[in-house]
Structure 1
Amino acid sequence: MTMLERLRAGELVGTQRLDLSAGLAEFPPEIFGLADTLEVLNLSGNALSSLPADLHRLHRLRVLFCSDNRFTELPEALGRCERLEMVGFKANRIERVATASLPPALRWLILTDNRIETLPEALGQRPRLQKLMLAGNRLRALPASMAAGSGALELLRISANRFEALPDGLAQLPRLSWLAFAGNPFDETPEARTVQAQATAAIDWHRLALGPRLGEGASGVIHQADWQQPDGSLRPVAVKRFKGAVTSDGWPHSEMAACLGAGGHPNLIPVLGRIVGHPEGVEGLVLSLVDPAFTSLAGPPSLESCTRDVYPADARWSTGTALAMARGIASAVVQLHARGILHGDLYAHNILWNGQGDCLLGDFGAASFLPRDDEDRSQALQRIEVRAFGCLLEELLAHCDPTDATATDLAGMTRLKSRCLAAEPTDRPLFADIVRSLGA
């Protein structure tokens, strides 16, 4: 039986989460029979254009996904759901977002890849809002209310919109840590300059033989491959082929530009060249193949953690290992900022490590480009990323083995963490100071 058939047969009583993708054009009324237990409802990948006005009958509903449907407006029924805190309507046709559609407990809002031109002032009046994903719309401004009312906001994606300038007030938000704004008119010139400044090798697609898939993200697919050298020998590499569509972070071409502009560094994955000659015109990069001993330091945020990474229950390391990782990542970010690149997604789940303190920072999907002609604004944006590093330090310290702690190192990292997390952004150090504090 399909999930829809089981629902209609009454077999799902007591369910807390329901995933239903069955080409639905209408909301199945049988879902209301789960009202006493249902907390997570995923209706993505259907043909829905509306939700019932009495959706609030699902009185325990906390999470609602309706991505890849046919909505042209964010349903006002959402605003009457008292417990609803996570809303995802990615890749619809939404043009209108009304005040009435914003739940009072809203914490995480995903409206990526729609047709939105304006947002209501009420968005800045949702005090629990931590995560706001708006890439791939038609926005030219954010609600003025956000500058004063979004004190809890930690992650913001406004890439691939129509902003002529970075919205005022973002750099002053006390908790903002992860910001992506590439692919807007004001960011196009810095991005183009970054690409033009790089003399990256062109690698003929026909000299690459793809092997097993290593992974897939929002922006592209990574394969192991053999690269044929001029002497006929084969060099093992990794190949990332980019998708053309906008992602939750922005345009793939912005990610490619950041990768090309990052330069060589011991804590970055080396870019060997840019693919040319693909028969379908697909863009891509050839990267050094990472030793399989390197694995992700943590998993991405969960529905519960929202903006914070999820670590294995047994994650433990020495203070010395934590210090080594902090030094390596801070050193890599110093170089990125010096080259005019804001990583935008400085998270443990984007860090590979080998269990001994050696680490690599990856995933430039949320990278943006710092203004070269405005040092004050550039430093203000860098201090947003400093808070992200403070969050990383906090997590590294939380998993340090207390029986293997060097008191001096532990105290120094703890003080640095507090400085990086300062509520007043101007009180945070820049990364050059961070590197000095870590003794790198």
Structure 2
Amino acid sequence: MKEDFLHHVWQHKKFAVTQLQTTAGESIQILNSGQYLQLAGPDFFNAQIIIGNQKWAGNVEIHIKSSDWYIHNHENDSNYDSVILHVVWEYDTPIFRKDNLEIPTLELRNYVALSDLHKYQSLISQKSWISCENEIINVDGFIFKNWQERLYFERLERKSAEIMTLLAESNNDWEAVLFCLLAKNFGLNTNGPLFLKMTKSIPFSVVRKESFAVENLEALFFGQANMLVSNFQDNYTKKLLQDYTYIAQKHKIQKSVFESVSFFKHRPDNFPTIRLAQLAALYHKEHNLFSKIVSVTSITEIYTLFQIEVSKYWETHYNFDKKSVTKKKKITNSFIDLIMINTIIPVRFAYEQSLQKEYSQEIIELTTALQPEKNIVIDKFASIGIFAKNAFQSQSLLQLKNEYCDAKKCLQCAIGAFLLKN
């Protein structure tokens, strides 16, 4: 038994609501079960309940056992002074207010159908990949579609909170925020955190000033990422080290102290050297990238923005001092799609939120125009009959798995609620 089951039961009145009584024998009539806000304090706010002949307005707190009130130290928390009804599964001790009056208690186990309890226990006790693995395919299509939209924007809101933190650190410079998040995206999962630290260590004003020469940006990025530390043989790489030393001194940039970049298990086109060279080429070409990104209306426009070519040295190298077959090393459309999903759309959403705008239909249209990600989670959903046709759907499925399925929040999930109801 978990409290979320009791929250579900109370919120949706999944019990015999007639002839309810407190543990002291007083009648209970629920006029309004309250708002389930999931904030600090009582579980349900602004409930309206008639107990005996008295109408009460206040909050409702829910526990498995009534003694949990004292285990959670609610008697010392003024937030719980307004509780008008204590709803529990098992009444094992009376609970008193600060004025020594007992708080009325409803013992739910006397009113909940055993069939509902068994359904709940069966759902959360399954040892499969997700609790509803065998039933999810039977969920009503309308409910599933609406829930996917809710999940997608939940995911964007979570990312938006992280972006707003970065915005505050960047003195409200959206171009700087985009720069940091693009770098993180260019580094993928392996080097992304290091690339983010690297970009945060460079004032974006310096990037603006040095963007007239792609070699200066390469020197700056490679130097701050601790990649210019070897005894180079190539003249170009020797010059990068010299340029980095000069640029760092000129702008008083503190030397970074990060872990080393990783080349392990990366295809050559994803080597950190190539991704940083591409990032340098991008900011050499585009000087007001954020302004352009927030105004685009199609995927084609994004592809055009990211049509860049690396500098001549990197056309014939994947690493310093090691020559390779000539290749332009352009950013592929599939990689741009990942940038769209993980950086551009979240930044655009956060920007619109900062302007107190409702999310634009363009965000949905851009996301539905993108191919779904390919990863273990999306593949597993496909194996149980849930297919993602675009990035909008794959992102919602990732949110479902990470925030609801893994946390066993079946009763806060529209899918779990539907399955229990039916």
Higher relative contact order (CA 8 A, sep 6+): 2
Asked if Structure 1 and Structure 2 have the same fold, meaning a TM-score greater than 0.5 normalized by the shorter chain, the answer is no
The structure with the largest helix share of the pair is 2
Q: TM-score, normalised by structure 1?
A: 0.20
The structure with the largest strand share of the pair is 1
Q: TM-score, normalised by structure 2?
A: 0.21
Which structure has the greater CA radius of gyration? 2
